[in-house]
Amino acid sequence: MQGPEAYLRDFHIQLPCAVDSSAVAIIDPAHRAFVSHEVYYFSSDEARRRFESEPYRYTGKVTDPVSLVRFQPDSATPFRNTAGRLFYFASANTLALFAIQPDLYSTPKPGARPPMMP
């Protein structure tokens, strides 16, 4: 998936590293991670490795791609890797719905409303 690097560079936007907020992130695909529908940037390869080992420690709230509920993941949160992106789920039920049709939920849809949950 294409990231917002060109936009960020065009407007000279600097972001803090997702792991070390006192460091400036490097705005390029090698220092980027997608988690659910959020994008995170890192100041170094080491910061990215730390993030990837326990992403829930650094993400803050994320959006469940099925229910669109915002929540704080932890080590017990259901997750799935799909198309180079980590998705966290607010429940095992939303993970199961995602598993049936990942393409339906893996790309954010403008103005999307949560589906009716069974």
Range of the domain at 90: 5-103
Dihedral angle at the C-alpha atoms of 36, 73, 24, 106, nearest 10 degrees? 0
pTM of the model as a whole: 0.85
Residue 116 in any domain: the answer is no
Q: Which of 78, 74, 77, 71 is closest to 37 using CA atoms?
A: 71
Residue 91 in any domain: the answer is yes
Q: What is the pLDDT of residues 65-105, one digit of tens each?
A: 999 999 999 999 999 999 889 999 999 999 999 999 999 99
Residue 37 has pLDDT above 90, yes or no: no
| Percent of residues, the chain, with pLDDT higher than 70 | 90
The tally of domains found in the chain comes to 1
